[in-house]
């Protein structure tokens, strides 16, 4: 069966390039990325307010790639991505996506792991993906260390992403330390890819529960991600044009380890110049405070969060939620009664859903 776009959806602005990395697609303006000078800051921590501008993201990717290449002996034009698989087991942070781009710049692949995993579940992913290193965060460190030890990943190949409230001094290099080290190192050799290599080379190994047995790796190429970004932003451009939206602020709460968070919430939104307000987990007061403080316009949520909004109307009424234009729910069906109730309480919100 052939699926085609509705007649009202514009054609893609360009043919998806098949010979570049996601890093190049996202961190330059050669391929239609919204101009950095006019973009909002791509990633802002909803708890601390720490934020990165577009130039700062590009610099962090550059410096991280230099330091990671040295630490892990990853050379851009030697071996394959299967020799340079890095596991990312972390809560959502503003460094999550830039870290993956740094690995891509070295010709490597990233396998994002659910922050809800137990040590045995993480061990399975580390083993089956062939991960050479593990990036994690302080709240998940105990689980990460158990899994890494079982999978044979030594402590010197474990690195820490900063999370709000993490203050302990740990015997592991942090991302910020890698960035500082990278500033003193020579630039990474540019990748020399052949025609179509972006369509062949794996960028992300995301794990699907499937229908039975252990989670299974899904190979997602650079071209896959680039094509999806162009498809989503083109489709969504029609509604945004009608509402005269150039850029807006989006909620980054759903796990970035999930393909929806990884492609739609982070990549697609920053590509079109939006700002993603990053939250590590759901707490209704923190969520409401972030919407009010950062004037979030688009909510990406799951049905249980929608139900929390409905059931806590008195609490919600204490916050200014007038900035919200869209509420998108995914992962499970949103019942018609729930949709009716949320639109009754917030008639200005456009409610949509997508399920698999």
Q: Which residues contact 163 (CB under 8 A, 6 or more apart)?
A: 90, 91, 93, 137, 138, 139, 280
Q: Give the CATH number of domain 224-354; options: 3.30.43.10, 3.40.228.10, 3.40.50.980, 2.130.10.10.
A: 3.40.50.980
Per the CB < 8 A criterion, the answer to whether 112 and 179 are in contact is no
> How many angstroms separate the CA atoms of 72 and 319, rounded?
47
215 or 287, which is more confident: 287
Which fold does the domain 54-221 belong to in CATH? Rossmann fold (3.40.50)
- Tokens representing residue 189 in the block: 């050799």
Which value, to the nearest 10 degrees, does the dihedral of the CA atoms of residues 128, 134, 135, 139 take? Answer: 90
126 — phi, psi (to 5°)?
Answer: -60, -45
Is 161 exposed, middle or buried, given 0-12, 13-18 or 19+ CB atoms closer than 10 A?
buried
User: pLDDT per residue over 239-288, tens digit each?
Assistant: 999 999 999 999 999 999 999 999 999 999 999 999 999 999 999 999 99
For the question of whether the overall pTM of this predicted structure is more than 0.85, the answer is: yes
Mean pLDDT throughout 172-200? 97
Q: Do domains 54-221 and 224-354 have the same CATH topology?
A: yes
Give me the pLDDT at residue 34, please: 97
> How many angstroms separate the CA atoms of 276 and 98, rounded?
13
Mean pLDDT score of the chain: 95
**pLDDT level of residue 354 (50, 70, 90 thresholds):** low
Residue 351 pairs in a beta bridge with 327
Give me the pLDDT at residue 15, please: 97
The structure tokens 């919430």 sit at 265
Residue 9: half-sphere exposure toward Cβ, Cα within 13 Å: 12
**pLDDT level of residue 326 (50, 70, 90 thresholds):** very high
**pLDDT level of residue 3 (50, 70, 90 thresholds):** confident
pLDDT surpasses 70 at 312: yes
193 — phi, psi (to 5°)?
Answer: -95, 145
209 — phi, psi (to 5°)?
Answer: -70, -25
> How many angstroms separate the CA atoms of 27 and 106, rounded?
15
Q: From the CA atom positions of the chain, what is the Rg in Å?
A: 20
pLDDT surpasses 70 at 210: no
User: pLDDT per residue over 82-111, tens digit each?
Assistant: 999 999 999 999 999 999 999 999 999 999
Give me the pLDDT at residue 153, please: 98
**Terminal-to-terminal C-alpha distance of the chain:** 18
Q: Where are the domains of the chain?
A: 54-221, 224-354
Give me the pLDDT at residue 285, please: 98
pLDDT surpasses 70 at 355: no
How many CB atoms within 10 Å of residue 237? 15
Give me the pLDDT at residue 4, please: 84
Q: List, as own/partner pairs, every contact residues 347-352 make where C-beta atoms lie below 8 angstroms and the sequence separation is at least 24, other chains included.
A: 348/322, 348/324, 349/324, 349/325, 350/239, 350/325, 350/326, 351/326, 351/327, 352/326, 352/327, 352/328
User: pLDDT per residue over 13-40, tens digit each?
Assistant: 999 999 999 999 999 999 999 999 999 9
pLDDT surpasses 60 at 300: yes
pLDDT surpasses 70 at 356: no
């Amino acid at each position: 069966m052939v699926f085609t776009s509705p007649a009202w959806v514009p054609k893609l602005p360009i043919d998806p390039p098949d010979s570049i990395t996601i890093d190049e697609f996202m961190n330059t303006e050669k391929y239609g990325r919204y101009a950095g000078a006019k973009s909002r800051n791509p990633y802002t921590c909803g708890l601390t307010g720490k934020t990165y501008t577009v130039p700062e993201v590009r610099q962090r990717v550059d410096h991280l790639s230099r330091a990671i290449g040295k630490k892990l002996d990853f050379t851009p034009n030697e071996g394959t991505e299967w020799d340079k698989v890095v596991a990312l087991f972390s809560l959502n942070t503003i460094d999550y996506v830039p870290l993956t781009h740094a690995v891509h710049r070295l010709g490597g692949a990233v396998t994002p792991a659910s922050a809800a995993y137990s040590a045995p579940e993480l061990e399975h992913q580390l083993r089956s993906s062939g991960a050479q290193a593990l990036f994690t965060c302080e709240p998940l460190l105990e689980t990460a260390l158990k899994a890494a030890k079982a999978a044979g990943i030594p402590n010197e190949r474990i690195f820490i992403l900063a999370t709000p409230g993490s203050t302990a001094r740990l015997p592991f290099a942090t991302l910020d330390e890698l960035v500082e080290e990278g500033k003193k190192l020579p630039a990474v050799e540019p990748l020399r890819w052949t025609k179509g290599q972006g369509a062949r080379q794996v960028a992300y190994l995301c794990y699907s529960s499937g229908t039975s047995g252990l989670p299974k790796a899904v190979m997602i190429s650079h071209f896959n991600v680039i094509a999806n970004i162009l498809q989503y932003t083109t489709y969504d451009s029609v509604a945004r044009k009608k509402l005269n939206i150039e850029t807006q602020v989006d909620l980054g709460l759903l796990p970035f380890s999930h393909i929806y968070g990884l492609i739609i919430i982070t990549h697609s939104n920053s590509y079109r110049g939006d700002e993603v307000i990053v939250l590590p987990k759901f707490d209704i007061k923190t969520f409401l405070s972030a919407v009010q403080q950062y004037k979030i316009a688009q909510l990406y949520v799951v049905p249980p969060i929608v139900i929390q909004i409905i059931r806590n109307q008195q609490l919600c009424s204490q916050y200014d939620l007038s900035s919200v234009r869209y509420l998108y729910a995914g992962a499970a069906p949103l019942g018609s009664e729930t949709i009716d109730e949320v639109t009754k309480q917030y008639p200005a919100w456009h409610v949509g859903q997508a399920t698999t």
